Amino acid sequence: MRNQVIVREQVTARWEEHLPGLLGRLEVPAQGVVQVGAHRGQEVAAFTACGFRRLVMMEPNLDHLSALREQLRVHHLAAGLPEPADGHLPRVVVAAAAGQRRGRATLNITPYDKQSSMLEPLQPMAVVRQVSVPVVPVSEVQHGCNVLVVDAQGAELDVLAGTDLDRLRLAVIEGSVSARYNGGSTLDSIAAHMTAHGWRSVASWAHERPGVVDVAWLAPEPAR
């Protein structure tokens, strides 16, 4: 029997527009967020509006880092939020892909670069160039963060394999009904991984692109 994503809420919308309300409803504090696939920082303003004191942005495409840092400056730095606890830096840009272990891998850059992936895209997507990039596990950079956001274009399971889920409370993970990359994960395979670790889906937001959904996952309550 396939592991199917059971959601309490599914709407066609940008997930970040609903994040403040979701955090409040689930009583998850806006402590810190790790974003895998931060791209040009399009969600930095939303994270700032939520009140996250610490942002760890992972992005392997060097072409995007200048815009990403500018978004952090314009929104997060300018907001004047309190400093993170335990001496953690408020803003960190990790110029690397997220994966199970440290190393290097090939980033496949597509014409529409938000579909670029560490995996080979399936047709009709094409690769315009390939770049060797460093790979760093999320577990090495997630200190001070309780929320994970993943946009890894098919490599979600590799990202999760390198993440310490026990230190997180909420995860928002993009997935697709069918694989769009060679060896890529799907909504079902992501659900199998998360439910095996005791997490449960609490909301989802369908993209305008058919078959692509962001799913919010809540961690199991810690043992008392």
Phi and psi for 34 in degrees, rounded to 5? -105, 125
d(CA 150, CA 188): 16
User: Is 224 within a domain?
Assistant: no
Whole-number pLDDT of residue 109: 85
pLDDT at 113: 58
- Positions of the chain with pLDDT lower than 50, given as ranges: 1-12, 223-224
CATH number of the domain bearing residue 70? 3.40.50
Q: How far apart are CA 207 and CA 213, in angstroms?
A: 6
pLDDT, position 5: 44
Q: What is the pLDDT of residue 13?
A: 59
* Structural domain total, the chain: 1
Number of neighbouring beta carbons within 10 Å of residue 210: 9
What is the rounded average pLDDT for all residues in the chain?
89
Q: What is the pTM of this model?
A: 0.90
Residue range of the domain that includes 127: 21-140+148-205
Provide, rounded to the nearest whole percent, the portion of the chain with pLDDT above 90.
Answer: 71
